Structure formats: structure tokens, C-alpha cells
């Protein structure tokens, strides 16, 4: 019997439920960035400005002027003219720095009244800074733009490039694949992507914004690297109808990228000056050639993610999926925050009760900062209505993974997709576990005494029931990580919360229909029918059929299972708890590894120890996958055959 939710006074019940289950919530704010009043400018921050706004040159340039005996005027134009007259040899690094700085400061001083000349000077400042790093010292030591000794020159290059691009972008003259001709000298900037990839290509590059326009909020770490280039937020345009995977892509997908001005072939044979304006993907490249030297890129992988997460359409997904799972089909499913890449291993992240994929973003931000993980993995996120019973959510997840596999690899030939790692928090850990086990008839027998074929219903409904209660392990899942998962149930699943959730949560009509068929045709007492599980809260009681099945089913040997337990109070192991799940409930003996993290139930997914453990597991998975793909062959012995000029064939474990 399904409770008639329409007769419940939901407004009052919602307030009670919110108070009782607040600790369960894994929701996160969607305000991850705010627009700066002025773009961040490291050059201006480093140089001193007068009360009238005049920016004076640096002490480093002042020291150079004294060394060469400058006695002229102190205005920036006079200083620039003097530096232009000095010999700029490869060894004259201080002279190059001073020249680049004065070119930049002159461009700044005339930017508003003469933007065309300002663009030319910004380009000159970038070129001079580039030549600084293209030169090497007599000892052949590479000039690293991240080194404090050379950082100020790198900042002039980066800021001059960004200022030039801003002026060109504001005039609508910056088009990928086309050249930008400078307004006064006729120099051309060839706008291109030097190393197209599935992540970044001519077709998939749309609008872009500058990272310096935004200030990060509500992400603990901002992952950046110092080098050359201008970090940008590349916004991928939608290509609906052309790509079958487009339905898995998040709207307004934004990617981290870096723009660079290259001056390698600055003077062409025809006498026309050409510059290459190039876009680099930090997932594919972390350096670029300057002359014959590989130098690091300036990157920011956190701000583009935060910019995407600030999409207002992503707010309230957690509450929506809990209270109105009947309408969640509009947003539920698998999400990719980066374009699919067949050469990367998928990491599927499954959130917990009263939560959404937003709960993973702190961890995702930290994991993608690791270059090896960034190059080898792609992250997928599953959004599901957490008010539904666990068995129904698990059935939808299995179906979703089958669909995405057919879309990504219809012939099932991509071995990367068979190395999938699934990470689940709380109830999401239970769903992850269910991907690896075979139900047999145990699950069905725990809820019904009748065979499915004897149910009085249509063949279509019987098929749907079989999808929920009869299933096999997914062979694509190679490893799972469960975090604070209530294998033994949750203490917050009690008679009151179960009644309240059943009164408040609007289940999908299909779920209600299947539940009604199953429970009303059972030859059980009226009380057993009333107490039968109907929502996810019912599924989390220790005695629920789904938890009993999970506890009694073991992950197959070929699948690695790592378990993370959260505890934040309790005098001894016997009463440890994270506020929602006790240690005893989360503990498993049949796992590959188990780690205890001192954190609350919701905060454990953001805890540094949890992130470090996930990083360790992913790197371990890479190493093992590599060994399986390229096994080590024992050394072979070469043995000479008596009476022959040639060695015998190589043999292993020879008894000769």
C-alpha cells in the first residue's frame, strides 16, 4: 500500500524534515566565483603607483639605468627611447627586461587615448619578454619563468599579451583560424590551436573569458602553475544533433586553456612580421618551446571550473532530487564536465542522499590539479533522485552506463572503458557496490514470496520489475571506492523519518506502480505492507532487503574495493560515528584497503586525507593497468650452440 501523499500538509512537513535531516545534506553553494571590479594585474601589483595613479618603473629597471649611466628625463617615453638605443644582445637580460617594462608602461599610459598604438606597444613588450626567455646564459642554464629571478619578466609578457588580446577582443577582431592584422605596422597574428585534441579543437572552441576577471570563492584550493601565457576560460559551443554524446555534456561547458604569443619565425622571408597566437590545453600540455628551451605554461585549472559551477541552473539540484524525484527525470542522468576522450579512463562519481554532483567539485578540483591524473582520467558524474528507493536508483544507474557505453563504444572495443573506477559517497557508495555484484534471486525473495511470472500485471511491468530486482555485475567496473557508506544502515532511518519521508517525497508514478504491484500481491500482513520500503530512507534501515543483499554479496576478486570511513566523535571504536553512519555500519572486512578519516559525514568528501587517498588509488590503478597492458617479460638467455657460429634461439628458463 502506497501512502496518498496528496493528503499530507507538505509545507509544514518540509520544515521538519529539513531540520531532522540537515546532517545528511551534502549540498554545496553554487557561488564559486565573483567578478572583480578590475582584472587582476600582477605587474601593477608589483610596481608602485603614485597618488595620481602614475605607475613608476621597478627597482630592477632603475638599477639597469644606473649601470648604463642614464642621465636623461624620468618620463617613461624618454626611458623607452633610451633603452631602444641600447644593444640587446642575448646576454643583456637586464636590458631586455627594462625595455619590455618601458614598452608596457608606455602602452598603459596611452591606452585610452591611442588604443592602436597601445596595441603595437603591448605586442613589442611581449616580443621583448619572449626574447628574454629565448636566450640562454653562457652555462646553458634554462631561464625558468616560474623562477623568482625571472618572474617579473614573465609577468610583463603575460600581462602585455592579455592587454593586447583584450583590446582586439573588444573590437571583435579575434577569430580563431583567422589572422589579426595590427592596426599601424601591419604585423599579423595567426590565431590557431597548434595541437588540436578531443578536448580542444577549432570546431569546439567558442567564446572565451579571461581568468583574471574572476576571483575564486568557496573552493579551498586554487590550482595554478607559473610560466608563460594567459589563462583563459574556453566556453565550448553546443553541437546538438552532430554528436551522440552531446546529451551527456553540461550546458555551457567551460574548459581551462592558455593563450600564448609565439615569436619563433618573427621575421619571414618576405619581410612581413608574423606572430602565432596559440591556444594550449593544460590537460594535454604543460609546457611550450621558447627557442630551443621547454618552459612551463601559466595555467589555472580551478577558476574555469568555478566559473562553470556558478551556473544558477545548477542550484537546488539536491533538494529537487530529494523532494520531487517524480520530476527529476528532467535533470537526472550521467554528466560529463569535459568532452569524452576514448584514451582516458572514466572515473564515475556518485553522490549521496540529499546531494548532487556539486558535492564532488572540491575533490574534483584537487584531483585534476595532478598532471598525471589530468592526462589519464576523465571524470563523469551521476545525478539521480535521492528520494527514490536505492534499488530503483541502482537500476537506473546500470541502465545509464549501458547507454553511455553504446554511445561511446558501440562495438565494445575500447579497453579504457573496461577500467572504470567508481567513487560513491554515502548512499552513492551503495549504488557503486551494486554495480559489482550479482543479485541472483536473493533480493527478490527478500521482498516477495511470489515468482515474478505469477504477478497479476502486464509483461511490460514484469520486465521493469526484473530490471530492479535481478541484475548482474557490470564488467566495465574495475575498481570501486566507497566513502561513509551505511552498509549496516543509518541511525537517522527510524520510524519517524521513514513516515515523514513517505509523507513528503513525491515518487515517480512508475516507481509507485511497481511498488504497488510488488507489495499488494504479497501474502503478508497489513503491517508488513505498511512497513515495506518505499523511499530511500526506508532503504537505509538495517533490516531493508537491499542492505541485507549488499552485506551478503562480495565484490568479485577481479574488482578492487577501497573503503573510506568517516568518524568525528566517539570515545572508542565501539561508538565511533560521523554523525550519520557509525563505524560499525561503514566498516567492511572484505575490502582491498580501508582508511579512517576524522571528519563529519558531509565534509569527508572534501577532506584532504580523503582526496589524498583517492589520488593514491587512481595512481595505483594506472600503474596496475599499465602492467596488465604491457606485462614484464622475463629476461632471456642467449646460449651458444657447440660447433655453430651463431647463437641459439633465445629461450626462457632454459635447461641447457
Q: Residue 8 — pLDDT band, cuts 50, 70, 90?
A: very low
Task: Give the per-residue pLDDT at 145.
Answer: 94
Q: Provide mean pLDDT across the span 611-639.
A: 81
Residue 16: pLDDT above 50? Answer: no
3-state secondary structure of 211: helix
- Contact predicate 134/290, CB 8 Å: yes
Q: Provide mean pLDDT across the span 143-171.
A: 94
* Residue-wise pLDDT tens digits, 538-593: 666 777 778 888 988 888 999 999 999 999 887 677 789 998 899 999 999 999 99
Strands (E) located in 503-581: 560-567
Lowest mean pLDDT among 117-131, 188-202, 307-321: 307-321
Whole-prediction pTM value?
0.82
Task: Give the per-residue pLDDT at 512.
Answer: 55
Report the greatest alpha carbon distance in the chain. Answer: 104
Q: How far apart are CA 386 and CA 424, in angstroms?
A: 13
Enumerate the β-bridge partners of residue 333.
383
Q: How far apart are CA 382 and CA 625, in angstroms?
A: 24
Task: Give the per-residue pLDDT at 494.
Answer: 41
Report, in angstroms and rounded to the nearest whole number, the Rg of the chain calculated over CA atoms: 31
Q: Residue 27 — pLDDT band, cuts 50, 70, 90?
A: very low
Residue 14: pLDDT above 60? Answer: no
Specify the pairing of strand 299-300 against strand 224-225.
antiparallel
* Residue-wise pLDDT tens digits, 195-208: 887 778 877 787 89
Q: Residue 319 — pLDDT band, cuts 50, 70, 90?
A: very low
Task: Give the per-residue pLDDT at 585.
Answer: 94
Lowest mean pLDDT among 441-450, 484-493, 621-630: 484-493
Q: How far apart are CA 511 and CA 390, in angstroms?
A: 11
3-state SS string for 573-590:
HHHCECCCCEHHHHCCCC
Sign of the alpha-carbon dihedral angle for 446, 450, 455, 461: positive
Helices (H), 221-313: 302-309
Above pLDDT 70, what percent of the chain? 76
Q: How far apart are CA 156 and CA 300, in angstroms?
A: 18
* Residue-wise pLDDT tens digits, 382-424: 988 777 788 888 999 999 999 999 999 999 999 999 999 999 9
Q: How far apart are CA 379 and CA 210, in angstroms?
A: 24
Residue 36: pLDDT above 80? Answer: yes
* Residue-wise pLDDT tens digits, 238-255: 765 567 888 888 777 889
**Between 9 and 103, residue with greater pLDDT:** 103
* Residue-wise pLDDT tens digits, 593-616: 999 999 999 999 999 999 999 999
Q: Provide mean pLDDT across the span 326-341.
A: 76
The whole-chain average pLDDT of the chain stands at: 81
Task: Give the per-residue pLDDT at 412.
Answer: 92
Q: Residue 96 — pLDDT band, cuts 50, 70, 90?
A: very high
* Helix and strand element counts for the chain (H, E): 22, 19
Q: How far apart are CA 425 and CA 55, in angstroms?
A: 52
The x, y and z cell numbers of residue 634, run together, are: 622475463
- Contact predicate 288/294, CB 8 Å: yes
Q: How far apart are CA 426 and CA 404, in angstroms?
A: 24
3-state secondary structure of 163: helix
Residue 141: pLDDT above 50? Answer: yes
Q: How far apart are CA 210 and CA 192, in angstroms?
A: 17
Q: Provide mean pLDDT across the span 56-68.
A: 92
Strand arrangement, sheet containing 593-598: 333-336, 377-383, 345-350, 420-425, 477-483, 560-567, 593-598
Q: Residue 502 — pLDDT band, cuts 50, 70, 90?
A: very low
- Contact predicate 243/161, CB 8 Å: no
Q: Whats the size of the chain, residue-wise?
A: 656
* Closest to 362 (Cα-Cα) out of 611, 130, 70, 147: 611
Q: How far apart are CA 416 and CA 380, in angstroms?
A: 14
For Cα atoms 228, 230, 232, give the angle at the middle one, nearest 5 degrees: 140
| 53: number of Cβ within 10 Å | 6
For Cα atoms 580, 584, 586, give the angle at the middle one, nearest 5 degrees: 60
Q: Residue 325 — pLDDT band, cuts 50, 70, 90?
A: very low
Q: How far apart are CA 428 and CA 350, in angstroms?
A: 5
Domains with residue ranges and CATH for the chain: 5-21+316-629 (3.40.50.1820), 38-304 (no CATH)
Task: Give the per-residue pLDDT at 25.
Answer: 43
The x, y and z cell numbers of residue 311, run together, are: 551556473
3-state secondary structure of 492: coil
Q: How far apart are CA 97 and CA 59, in angstroms?
A: 12
**Between 527 and 299, residue with greater pLDDT:** 299
Residue written as grid cell 524534515: 17
237-241 contacts, C-beta under 8 A, 24 or more apart: 237/204, 237/205, 237/206, 237/207, 239/203, 239/204
Enumerate the β-bridge partners of residue 347.
379, 421
Q: Residue 521 — pLDDT band, cuts 50, 70, 90?
A: low
Amino acid at each position: 500500500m502506497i501512502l496518498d501523499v496528496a493528503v499530507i500538509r507538505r509545507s509544514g512537513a518540509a520544515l521538519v524534515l529539513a531540520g531532522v535531516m540537515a546532517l545528511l545534506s551534502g549540498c554545496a553553494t553554487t557561488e564559486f566565483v565573483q567578478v572583480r571590479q578590475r582584472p587582476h594585474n600582477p605587474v601593477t601589483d608589483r610596481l608602485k603607483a603614485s597618488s595620481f595613479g602614475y605607475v613608476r618603473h621597478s627597482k630592477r629597471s632603475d638599477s639597469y639605468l644606473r649601470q648604463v649611466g642614464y642621465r636623461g628625463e624620468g618620463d617613461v617615453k624618454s626611458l623607452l627611447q633610451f633603452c631602444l638605443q641600447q644593444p640587446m644582445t642575448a646576454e643583456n637580460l637586464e636590458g631586455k627586461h627594462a625595455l619590455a617594462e618601458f614598452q608596457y608602461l608606455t602602452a598603459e599610459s596611452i591606452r585610452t587615448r591611442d588604443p592602436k598604438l597601445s596595441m603595437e606597444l603591448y605586442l613589442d613588450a611581449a616580443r621583448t619578454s619572449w626574447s628574454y626567455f629565448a636566450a640562454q646564459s653562457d652555462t646553458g642554464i634554462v631561464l625558468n619563468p616560474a623562477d623568482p629571478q625571472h618572474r617579473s619578466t614573465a609577468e610583463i609578457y603575460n600581462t602585455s599579451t592579455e592587454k593586447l588580446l583584450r583590446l582586439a577582443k573588444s573590437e571583435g577582431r579575434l577569430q580563431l583560424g583567422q589572422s589579426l592584422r595590427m592596426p599601424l605596422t601591419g604585423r599579423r597574428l595567426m590565431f590557431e590551436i597548434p595541437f588540436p585534441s578531443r578536448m580542444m579543437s577549432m570546431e569546439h572552441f567558442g567564446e572565451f573569458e579571461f581568468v583574471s576577471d574572476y576571483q575564486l570563492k568557496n573552493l579551498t584550493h586554487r590550482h595554478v602553475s607559473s610560466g608563460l601565457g594567459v589563462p583563459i576560460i574556453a566556453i565550448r559551443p553546443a553541437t546538438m544533433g552532430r554528436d551522440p554524446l552531446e546529451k551527456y555534456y553540461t550546458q555551457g561547458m567551460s574548459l581551462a586553456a592558455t593563450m600564448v604569443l609565439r615569436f619563433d619565425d618573427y621575421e619571414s622571408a618576405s619581410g612581413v612580421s608574423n606572430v602565432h597566437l596559440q591556444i594550449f590545453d593544460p590537460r594535454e600540455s604543460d609546457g611550450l618551446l621558447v627557442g630551443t628551451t621547454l618552459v612551463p605554461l601559466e595555467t589555472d585549472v580551478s577558476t574555469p571550473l568555478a566559473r562553470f559551477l556558478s551556473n544558477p541552473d545548477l542550484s537546488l539540484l539536491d533538494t529537487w532530487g530529494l523532494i520531487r524525484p517524480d520530476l527529476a527525470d528532467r535533470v537526472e542522468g550521467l554528466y560529463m564536465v569535459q568532452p569524452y576522450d576514448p584514451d582516458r579512463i572514466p572515473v564515475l562519481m556518485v553522490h549521496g542522499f540529499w546531494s548532487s554532483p556539486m558535492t564532488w567539485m572540491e575533490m574534483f578540483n584537487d584531483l585534476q590539479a595532478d598532471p598525471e591524473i589530468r592526462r589519464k582520467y576523465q571524470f563523469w558524474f551521476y545525478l539521480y533522485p535521492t528520494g527514490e528507493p536505492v534499488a530503483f536508483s541502482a537500476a537506473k544507474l546500470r541502465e545509464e552506463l549501458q547507454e553511455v557505453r553504446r554511445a561511446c563504444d558501440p562495438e565494445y572495443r575500447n579497453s579504457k572503458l573496461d577500467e572504470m573506477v567508481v567513487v560513491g559517497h554515502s548512499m552513492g557508495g551503495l549504488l557503486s557496490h551494486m554495480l559489482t555484484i550479482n543479485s541472483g534471486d536473493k533480493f527478490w525473495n527478500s521482498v516477495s514470496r511470489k515468482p515474478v511470472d505469477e504477478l497479476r500485471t502486464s509483461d511490460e511491468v514484469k520486465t521493469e520489475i526484473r530490471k530492479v530486482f535481478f541484475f548482474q555485475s557490470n564488467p566495465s567496473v574495475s575498481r570501486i571506492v566507497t566513502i561513509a557508506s551505511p552498509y549496516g544502515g543509518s541511525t537517522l532511518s527510524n520510524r519517524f523519518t521513514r513516515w515523514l519521508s513517505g509523507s513528503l517525497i513525491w515518487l515517480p508514478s512508475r516507481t509507485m506502480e511497481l511498488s504497488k504491484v510488488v507489495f499488494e500481491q504479497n501474502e503478508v500482513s497489513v503491517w508488513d505492507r505498511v512497513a515495506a520500503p518505499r523511499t530511500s530512507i526506508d532503504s537505509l534501515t538495517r533490516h531493508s532487503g537491499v542492505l541485507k543483499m549488499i552485506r551478503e554479496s562480495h565484490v568479485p576478486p577481479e574488482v578492487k574495493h577501497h573503503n573510506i570511513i568517516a568518524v568525528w566523535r566517539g570515545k572508542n571504536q565501539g561508538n565511533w560515528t560521523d554523525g550519520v553512519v557509525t563505524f560499525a555500519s561503514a566498516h567492511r572486512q572484505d575490502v582491498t584497503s580501508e582508511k579512517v578519516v576524522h571528519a563529519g559525514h558531509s565534509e569527508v568528501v572534501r577532506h584532504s586525507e580523503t582526496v589524498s587517498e583517492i589520488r593514491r588509488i587512481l595512481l595505483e590503478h594506472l600503474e596496475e593497468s599499465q602492467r596488465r597492458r604491457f606485462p614484464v617479460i622475463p629476461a632471456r638467455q642467449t646460449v651458444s650452440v657447440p660447433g655453430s657460429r651463431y647463437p641459439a634461439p633465445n629461450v626462457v628458463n632454459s635447461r641447457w
